């Protein structure tokens, strides 16, 4: 899940049908329990498999949750998220606004999400405006989900430990049944040109306590 940032995002064989009609009531945020876990499988834009990973809720508080990400059964990081599922752990002294999703989710709702990340390529900042745009039926190995489509266009990413920066687009598919994103797609574009980087992750399995 590294590259220029850690990002929830897959591609496998997946059925996707998007509708601009809204049949859902306002969608509230999840109430995670300790032990809830979600496993994702991913590919890049060239069809190459990316390492699968599992995210597990290991603690909860009034303000949010502590998550642990593991690869092949080995924990690789712990981080805090808000009730709105955005990272709020400090990265090199920087903390984002935690607003990955501005619950409750309603038709046409827009909000700004600022986050900081750290990986093998250094650390940096993402800044993007999201909008709830529709619904999607998605079938994965984890099941079939009626998901809320959340799009962000022309966000700005900056690697604060190098001269690299650019724009990015994101599409997230949030399922209130799985209490998480069941599919996520992100494409990074580089200032000054260069090949775009795409990462897609899809929910492979999950367990809710």
Q: How many domains does one find in the chain?
A: 1
Give me the residues paired with residue 6 across strands.
Answer: none
Neighbours of 129 (CB within 10 A): 13
80 in any annotated domain: yes
Q: Which long-range contacts (CB under 8 A, 24 or more apart) does 86-89 make?
A: 86/113, 86/115, 87/115, 87/116, 87/117, 88/64
Whether 9 maps to a domain, the answer reads: no
| Predicted local confidence at residue 7, as pLDDT | 38
For 169, the 3-state DSSP assignment is strand
Q: Is residue 6 part of a domain?
A: no
Q: Is residue 57 part of a domain?
A: yes
In a domain, 7, yes or no: no
Specify the pLDDT at position 179: 96
Which pLDDT value is given to residue 23? 58
90 domain residue, yes or no: yes
Check residue 153 and give its pLDDT.
87
Residue 133 backbone class (left: φ over 0; alpha: ψ -120 to 50; beta: rest): alpha
pLDDT number for residue 57? 98
pLDDT digits (tens, 9 = 90+) for 80-139: 999 999 999 999 999 999 999 999 999 899 999 999 988 888 899 999 999 999 999 999
Indicate which CATH number applies to the domain containing 40.
2.40.360
Q: How confident is the model at residue 208 (pLDDT cuts 50, 70, 90)?
A: very high
Which domain range does residue 164 map to?
Answer: 15-207
Summarize pLDDT for 155-166 with one digit per residue, the tens: 999 988 888 889
39 found inside a domain: yes
Residue 3 located in a structural domain: no
What's the pTM? 0.85
């Amino acid at each position: 899940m590294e590259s220029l940032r850690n990002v929830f995002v897959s591609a496998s064989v997946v059925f996707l049908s998007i509708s601009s009609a809204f049949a859902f009531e306002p969608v509230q945020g999840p109430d995670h329990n300790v032990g809830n876990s979600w496993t994702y499988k991913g590919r890049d834009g060239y069809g190459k498999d990316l390492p699968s990973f599992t995210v597990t809720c290991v603690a909860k508080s009034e303000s949010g949750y502590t998550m642990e990400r593991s690869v092949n059964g080995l924990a690789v990081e712990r981080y805090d998220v808000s009730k709105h599922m955005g990272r709020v752990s400090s990265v090199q002294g920087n903390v984002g606004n935690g607003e990955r999703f501005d619950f409750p989710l309603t038709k046409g709702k827009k909000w700004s999400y600022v986050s900081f990340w750290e990986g093998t390529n250094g650390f940096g900042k993402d800044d993007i405006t999201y909008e709830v745009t529709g619904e999607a039926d998605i079938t994965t190995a984890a099941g079939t989900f009626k998901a809320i489509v959340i799009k962000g266009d022309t966000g700005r990413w900056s690697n604060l430990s190098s001269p690299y920066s650019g724009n990015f687009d994101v599409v997230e598919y949030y399922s209130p049944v799985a209490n998480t994103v069941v599919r996520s797609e992100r494409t990074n574009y580089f200032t000054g040109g260069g090949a775009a980087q795409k990462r897609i992750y899809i929910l492979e399995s999950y367990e809710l306590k």
